[in-house]
Amino acid sequence: MSSSFSMAKGRLIAASLGPGDPGLITRAAWRLLETVPCWAWPESRQEGGGYALSIAQRAGLPLPPHTLPLAFPMTRDLLVLARHWQNAAEQVLTLLNQGLDVAFLVEGDASFFSTFGHLQRTIQAMDDTVQVEIIPGVSSPLAAAALTRQSLCDGDQSLAMVSASMGMERIDRLLTDFETVVLLKVRPVLDPLLDLLQSRNLLEKSRFVERAGAPEERVVEQVWTLKGTQVHYLSLMIVHCNDGEAGLGTPG
């Protein structure tokens, strides 16, 4: 006689850990990591065990019974990335089918330029019955703004947050259309970006922030000194393009 019992599928939960400071982990994410049976996290050769995992470790949170490091190369090759996402999704789905909840560790916020969205879409394309939950967290632009001690925007000012890989021509238009522009992923285009900011007389109104909240965090106010240097991939630039009603970007 066959049993009608079927094991409930586990949940895929995005655990947003903030940009690097364990003190910025929310109570919801902390509680999840203390109770969930499995952590999964992205790692690369460049970061070793993975940046998101390092945040949880600095918080003193113990590893759960099950751990699943997922390898992702630092590449723009879409075919290579697709293979790795497929492999990662298969590994996570195996655990979910065993009834285990899986917390995917994410630096910053899982809905903001995060690896989690790729994993979620791949898994749900394979099995659309998987239940997904997202715990929000502090995103890097907010942590970076706090470090610079300047508001990102105020009153009716406008704010744009984009990847610097969109190209200098498009960024140039944003610098005209918005009071404040936050540029993420600036490492590959740092020198041409600095040239653009110089041509717009915005160097003194810009702030560079690297690894906000981590022990290695760095804030650079004289951003022109970065020309020709190497920076970490977790870097961003905040540009106060127009003074506006709040006088943002005025050199101190």
The per-residue pLDDT for range 111-161, each reduced to its tens digit, is 998 889 989 999 999 999 999 999 999 999 999 999 999 999 888 899 999
Residue 238 has which token pair? Answer: 């905040």
Q: Which parts of the chain fold into alpha helices (H)?
A: 27-35, 51-58, 78-97, 116-126, 140-148, 168-177, 190-199
CATH number at residue 184: 3.30.950.10
Q: How far apart are CA 118 and CA 99, in angstroms?
A: 22
Residues 234 and 151 in one domain: yes
Which of 79, 87, 78 minimizes the C-alpha distance to 42?
Answer: 87
What one-letter code names the amino acid at 61? L
Q: How far apart are CA 234 and CA 211, in angstroms?
A: 5
Which of 186, 174, 177 minimizes the C-alpha distance to 234?
Answer: 186
The per-residue pLDDT for range 183-229, each reduced to its tens digit, is 999 999 999 999 999 999 999 999 999 999 999 999 999 999 999 99
Residue 248 lies in a domain: no
Residues 202 and 236 in one domain: yes
Residues 177 and 131 in one domain: no
pLDDT at 179 over 80: yes
* Domain of residue 34, residue span: 12-135
CATH number at residue 80: 3.40.1010.10
Model confidence at 75, pLDDT cuts 50, 70, 90, reads low
